[in-house]
């Protein structure tokens, strides 16, 4: 009997159970926290049990990837910032996709970028197919136990199919009989149609989670080696000289840009002062956004050039890699200029969450370029993708360690105390991660700003957390405890008497109430991306 047949029934049953657990845990107001971690723990437990039913053991790489996904999910318990929650969830999803890319085989460490793309497509298609990705179960051999079990299953299938066939007639006749007799209508509504909208919502959540879980279990438990071996795009094998010429066109473009814009790129504050109509904002926007975007776009172009060039003499390859190295060095110069502009922007206007993320992204991009030189330009292309994945994971972990909102609050409060320009409204919209810093230095703020901040802290963290225990995280619990301890009755009385109305304080930036976990991820990611883009462009 095949592995697929042995695991099919168990996997589908456990997928349905995880769907029910998701409906119990994840349908909560506010940002995900403890509920997602508990569901992830249950999912990993189910996966471990199903893997033990296989005759083939899972690779050590699979254990590391699944453990890393669980660790990324557990970061939801640490910080309260929405962007960090989105980064953690996306990291967990990527690691799980890699673990299921070729079932439990070890492949990620030496994967080509195209291999990772095909593996992601495979997992995505199987998750979309849900239970249908398993196919039909093979017939079992009949013994006494098998015959008894098959009889029970046949009875259940008969009842289910008969009920589904009668359902249209039942609905039509029920409507007619309810219209004919008001008493029968009240009885039937009381029995069957009480809170039907809520019932349908629960059923929808269970169905969606169970469907995707069934497809993921199919992807990680059953191999498709024959299929994956055929999913390879043949290299076009262009002449090395042609690829080299194409790259030198890019080199000349960057060289011309650096020469023409040399004073503008590295002019710094002195250029801003002497150039009419040029503000720090304009200078910084032209200094990091477009340049970092250009550098990020060139990285896949370099990979494409190395892949498309036909194998040739060592001399031709050496010329090509020398050309690529020149382009990488030019990109390093562009990134250095972008980082310098970002520093000027922060010195002029203070630190924000977006500016910190861009700064970490610049460091990550620099590491990727260095890894490209160390791997692709030395003929070890197969190691590049794994290094990029580890760089992304390191950036996410670094952001959690930095605690962006606390750092932003610390820097901007120092600017406020020093009398420099700072954004007070933005300071009051930070998450619970910033509350300890705000409370610790509250007395050092200007009086009016101090009252505004205290009012906002009391408004947001003076009561119970929205969503209860299911959305718990350490940062929010600490913020509520500190607000309760330090904002005493005297402080609250002073806040109440201030002439600054609470309505003047910006609205809460925490995510609006949503019933579904997937909606949280999509809305948070899209909203943060759009707000980030508008902040840069405006």
DSSP 332-376: HHHHHHHHHHHHHHHHHH---HHHHHHHHHHHHHHHHHHHHHHHG
Tokens of 374: 């160390």
- Stretch 97-107: mean pLDDT, rounded? 87
pLDDT band at 496 (very low <50, low <70, confident <90, very high): very low
pLDDT at 141 over 60: no
- Stretch 78-86: mean pLDDT, rounded? 90
Q: What pLDDT was estimated at residue 532? A: 42
pLDDT at 140 over 60: no
Q: What pLDDT was estimated at residue 95? A: 94
Residues 251 and 222 in one domain: no
Domain end call among 384, 402, 420: 402
The helix/strand/coil state of 101 is strand
* Tokens 């794994």, located at residue: 386
pLDDT band at 29 (very low <50, low <70, confident <90, very high): confident
Residues 215 and 256 in one domain: no
The helix/strand/coil state of 411 is helix
Residue 490 has a CB neighbour count (10 Å cut-off) of 8
- Stretch 8-17: mean pLDDT, rounded? 87
At 102, give phi and psi (nearest 5°). -130, 50
pLDDT, greater one: 412 or 517: 412
Q: What pLDDT was estimated at residue 523? A: 44
Q: What pLDDT was estimated at residue 229? A: 57
pLDDT at 64 over 90: yes
Q: How far apart are CA 309 and CA 241, in angstroms?
A: 9
pLDDT band at 30 (very low <50, low <70, confident <90, very high): confident
Q: Is the dihedral of CA 236, 240, 246, 247 positive or negative?
A: positive
- Contact of 431 with 405, CB cutoff 8 Å: yes
113-129 and 196-221 helices, crossing angle to 10°: 140
- Stretch 335-349: mean pLDDT, rounded? 79
pLDDT at 44 over 90: yes
Q: How far apart are CA 455 and CA 505, in angstroms?
A: 9
pLDDT band at 13 (very low <50, low <70, confident <90, very high): confident
The helix/strand/coil state of 104 is strand
Residues 209 and 259 in one domain: no
At 223, give phi and psi (nearest 5°). -80, 155
Task: Kindly state the DSSP code that residue 275 receives in the 8-state scheme.
Answer: S
- Contact of 15 with 217, CB cutoff 8 Å: yes
- Contact of 494 with 443, CB cutoff 8 Å: no
| Nearest alpha carbon to residue 345 among 404, 286, 397 | 286
Concatenated DSSP letters of 480-506: HHHHHHHS-HHHHHHHHH-SS-GGGSP
Q: What pLDDT was estimated at residue 506? A: 35
- Contact of 308 with 300, CB cutoff 8 Å: no
Residues 43 and 132 in one domain: yes
pLDDT band at 90 (very low <50, low <70, confident <90, very high): very high
Residues 218 and 83 in one domain: yes
Residue 324 maps to a domain: yes
Residues whose CB is less than 8 angstroms from the CB of residue 286 and which lie 6 or more positions away in sequence, other chains included: 341
Q: How far apart are CA 247 and CA 240, in angstroms?
A: 11
Torsion angle (degrees, nearest 10) of CA 127, 129, 131, 132: -150
Domain end call among 402, 428, 447: 402
Q: What pLDDT was estimated at residue 454? A: 86
pLDDT, greater one: 230 or 34: 34
Question: How many domains does the chain fold into?
Answer: 3
pLDDT, greater one: 223 or 38: 38
Residue 186 maps to a domain: no
Q: Which secondary structure element, helix H or strand E, spans residue 102, and what is its range? A: strand 101-104
Residues 395 and 417 in one domain: no
Residues 391 and 245 in one domain: yes
pLDDT band at 457 (very low <50, low <70, confident <90, very high): confident
pLDDT, greater one: 505 or 424: 424
Residue 529 maps to a domain: no
Residues 316 and 450 in one domain: no
Condensed to tens digits (0 to 9), the pLDDT of residues 378-404 reads: 888 888 888 999 999 999 999 999 999
Residues 304 and 277 in one domain: yes
Residue 181 maps to a domain: no
Q: What are the contacts of 65-68 at 24+ separation with CB within 8 A?
A: 65/95, 65/96, 65/98, 65/99, 65/108, 66/95, 66/96, 66/99, 68/95, 68/393
Residues 304 and 422 in one domain: no
pLDDT at 269 over 60: no
- Stretch 123-134: mean pLDDT, rounded? 88
Residues 283 and 222 in one domain: no
Residue 349 maps to a domain: yes
- Stretch 72-82: mean pLDDT, rounded? 91
- Contact of 108 with 389, CB cutoff 8 Å: yes
> What's the mean pLDDT when you consider all of the chain?
77
Residues whose CB is less than 8 angstroms from the CB of residue 406 and which lie 6 or more positions away in sequence, other chains included: 433, 434, 436, 437
Share of the chain above pLDDT 70, in %: 74
pLDDT at 53 over 60: yes
Residue 160 maps to a domain: no
The predicted model scores a pTM of: 0.75
| Nearest alpha carbon to residue 222 among 42, 13, 6, 66 | 6
Residues whose CB is less than 8 angstroms from the CB of residue 527 and which lie 6 or more positions away in sequence, other chains included: 511
Q: What pLDDT was estimated at residue 149? A: 57
Alpha helices in 261-313 (DSSP H): 262-266, 268-274, 280-284, 290-308
pLDDT at 69 over 60: yes
At 367, give phi and psi (nearest 5°). -65, -40
Question: Range of 491's domain?
Answer: 405-507
Q: What pLDDT was estimated at residue 349? A: 79
Residue 178 maps to a domain: no
- Contact of 50 with 217, CB cutoff 8 Å: yes
pLDDT band at 423 (very low <50, low <70, confident <90, very high): confident
Residue 484 maps to a domain: yes
- Stretch 40-68: mean pLDDT, rounded? 89
Q: What pLDDT was estimated at residue 191? A: 65
Tokens of 351: 């630190």
At 165, give phi and psi (nearest 5°). -65, -35
Residues 369 and 490 in one domain: no
Q: Measured over all CA atoms, what is the biggest interatomic distance in the chain, rounded to whole angstroms?
A: 93
């Amino acid at each position: 009997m095949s592995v697929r047949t042995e695991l099919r029934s168990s996997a589908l049953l456990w997928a349905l159970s995880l769907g029910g657990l998701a409906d119990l845990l994840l349908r909560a107001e506010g940002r995900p926290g403890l509920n997602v971690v508990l569901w992830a723990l249950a999912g990993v437990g189910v996966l471990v049990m199903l893997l033990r039913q296989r005759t083939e053991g899972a690779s050590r790489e699979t254990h590391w990837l699944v453990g890393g996904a669980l660790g990324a999910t557990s970061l939801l318990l640490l910080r309260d910032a929405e962007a960090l929650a989105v980064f953690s969830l996306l990291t967990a999803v990527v690691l799980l996709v890699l673990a299921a890319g070729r079932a439990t085989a070890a492949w990620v460490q030496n994967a080509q970028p195209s291999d990772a793309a095909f593996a992601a497509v495979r997992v995505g298609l199987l998750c979309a197919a849900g239970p249908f990705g398993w196919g039909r179960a093979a017939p079992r051999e009949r013994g006494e136990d098998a015959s008894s079990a098959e009889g029970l299953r046949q009875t259940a299938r008969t009842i289910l199919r008969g009920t589904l066939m009668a359902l249209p007639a039942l609905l039509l006749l029920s409507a007619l009989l309810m219209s004919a007799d008001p008493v029968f209508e009240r009885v039937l509504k009381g029995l069957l149609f009480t809170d039907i909208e809520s019932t349908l919502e629960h059923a929808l959540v269970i169905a969606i989670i169970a469907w995707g879980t069934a497809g993921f279990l199919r992807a990680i438990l059953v191999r498709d080696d024959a299929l994956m071996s055929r999913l390879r795009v043949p290299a076009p094998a262009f002449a090395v000289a042609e690829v080299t010429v194409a790259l030198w066109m890019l080199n000349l473009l960057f060289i011309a840009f650096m020469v023409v814009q040399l004073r503008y790129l590295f002019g710094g504050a002195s250029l801003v002062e002497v150039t009419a109509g040029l503000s720090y904002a304009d200078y910084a926007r032209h200094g990091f956004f477009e340049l970092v975007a250009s550098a990020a776009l060139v990285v896949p172009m370099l990979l494409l050039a190395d892949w498309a060039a036909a194998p040739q003499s060592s001399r031709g390859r050496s010329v090509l890699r020398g050309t690529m190295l020149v382009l990488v060095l030019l990109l390093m110069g562009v990134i250095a200029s972008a980082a310098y502009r970002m520093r000027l922007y922060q010195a002029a206007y203070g630190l924000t969450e977006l500016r910190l993320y861009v700064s970490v992204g610049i460091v990550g991009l620099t590491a990727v370029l260095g890894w490209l030189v160390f791997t692709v330009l030395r003929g070890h292309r197969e190691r590049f993708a794994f290094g990029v994945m580890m760089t992304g994971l390191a950036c996410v972990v670094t952001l959690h360690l930095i605690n962006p909102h606390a750092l932003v609050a610390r820097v901007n409060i120092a600017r406020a105390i020093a009398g420099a320009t700072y954004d007070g409204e933005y300071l009051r919209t930070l998450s619970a991660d910033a509350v300890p810093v705000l409370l610790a230095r509250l007395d050092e703020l200007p009086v009016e700003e101090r009252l505004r901040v205290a009012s906002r802290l009391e408004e947001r963290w003076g009561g119970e957390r929205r969503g209860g225990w299911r959305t718990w995280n350490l940062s929010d619990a600490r913020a509520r405890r500190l607000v309760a301890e330090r904002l005493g009755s005297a402080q609250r009385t002073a806040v109440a008497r201030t002439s600054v109305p609470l309505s003047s304080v910006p609205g809460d930036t925490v995510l609006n109430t949503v019933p579904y976990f997937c909606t949280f991820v999509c809305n948070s990611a899209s909203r943060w991306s759009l707000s980030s883009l508008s902040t840069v462009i405006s």
